[in-house]
A and B are shown apart, each in its own frame.
Chain A
């Protein structure tokens, strides 16, 4: 009787632990197949038929349609350079060089992946060709509720969010070496 009870306990605990571990590893920012550059993380295999089981499970569970190899690559940032979570009530400076791509976009998304909007119809998003650049070709922009000089993404509200840079028509992370690649830095200006 006692060994039967023990067996039952072992099975229940094993089931719970296994299910929890599966749920946890399929979370948005799991490390399997991840490509990290600074605060940015991409999953190059997400748009690939040979992706790892964790990435596949994540894509299926969230019902995503990831960018394919010839389309582009999405980099996600949920933290600033200091490691603090990005918050909608704060102002951030995003500057530096972006990897080689035909074009890229920068968008604020909720952690669940919804696009964040301002005034119900303007998405908190910017397309690279509409940006003004520094003489060396690098970019400098600000995201937050305080009006900034140029390249400003208007965002208000509260709570954590993520910034996604999508590089289109870029071979980064698939065919090319990423060790020399730089992504912009994300610095907290004020809260």
Chain B
């Protein structure tokens, strides 16, 4: 028969193993989650272009907890290809932009009041691209928000408020005209 002491010993080892497993699982979930935001967005043709992830309050992609009062578009990018340039023009009741990294962490966000001149113009670069940009900043970027991202892959989300149904054409047009492009240093340098 097991001695009492032995039982206590086995129970403590069990708890220790449980604790280690618990910490490991929690820490590893973000890297191994099969249905994280990136994976869900990947089912749409939204690499280097904006595609709606919700419309008229309905989720097109099963991303939970989206606000039905907003039309939301997403664009995936990979900074190892090129820096990202995001632009949208128009006036909405409210819009906000968020940059997420590959693991779905929100690395940067701003809204129409915190944007320069209230317009959406954004450049996302990695450290090397940032150094290059600082050395010789093109004039057209004077009114852009420049954000450094440490990871190559990520996605940008534009959330456009639709206060009521009559705003639908306006938010749709805003999102349809939003661009999510590779920013070309060479073209800028040769033209300047």
CA distance A18 to B27 in the complex (A): 13
Once the chains bind, are A74 and B96 in contact (CB under 8 Å)? no
A70-B109, A169-B111 are known contacts. Are A64 and B17 too (CB-CB below 8 A)?
no
A18 partner residues in chain B, CB cutoff 8 A: 17-22, 24-25
Partner of B18, one of A17, A68, A72, A74: A17
Partner of B106, one of A22, A26, A49, A164: A49
**Contact pattern, A 115-130, Cβ under 8 Å of B = 1, otherwise 0:** 1010001010101011
Once the chains bind, are B98 and A57 in contact (CB under 8 Å)? no
**Contact pattern, A 50-73, Cβ under 8 Å of B = 1, otherwise 0:** 010110110111111111111110
Number of inter-chain CB pairs below 8 Å: 189
**Contact pattern, B 33-57, Cβ under 8 Å of A = 1, otherwise 0:** 1011101100000000000000011
Q: Is B164 an interface residue (CB 8 A)?
A: yes
Once the chains bind, are B17 and A15 in contact (CB under 8 Å)? yes
A22-B26, A60-B29 are known contacts. Are A166 and B109 too (CB-CB below 8 A)?
no
Once the chains bind, are B164 and A130 in contact (CB under 8 Å)? yes
**Contact pattern, A 8-25, Cβ under 8 Å of B = 1, otherwise 0:** 011101111111011101
Q: Is B127 an interface residue (CB 8 A)?
A: no
Q: Is B170 an interface residue (CB 8 A)?
A: no
Task: Looking at the assembled complex, report how far the CB atom of A61 sits from the nearest CB atom of chain B, in whole angstroms.
Answer: 5
CA distance A53 to B35 in the complex (A): 18
Once the chains bind, are B64 and A10 in contact (CB under 8 Å)? no
Q: Is B146 an interface residue (CB 8 A)?
A: no
CA distance A46 to B65 in the complex (A): 13
Q: Is A146 an interface residue (CB 8 A)?
A: no
Partner of B21, one of A19, A65, A102, A121: A19
CA distance A112 to B66 in the complex (A): 11
Within 8 A of B (CB), among A100-144: 102-103, 105, 107, 109, 112-115, 117, 121, 123, 125, 127, 129-130
| Chain B residues close to A by CB (< 8 Å) | 10, 13-22, 24-27, 29-30, 33, 35-37, 39-40, 56-59, 62-69, 72, 74, 93-94, 96, 98, 100-101, 103-111, 113-114, 157, 159, 161, 163-164
26 contacts between A and B (CB under 8 A): A10-B10, A14-B18, A15-B17, A15-B21, A17-B22, A18-B17, A18-B19, A18-B22, A18-B24, A19-B25, A26-B26, A56-B30, A59-B105, A60-B36, A64-B37, A66-B106, A67-B98, A69-B109, A70-B96, A71-B98, A105-B69, A112-B64, A115-B59, A123-B57, A168-B111, A169-B96
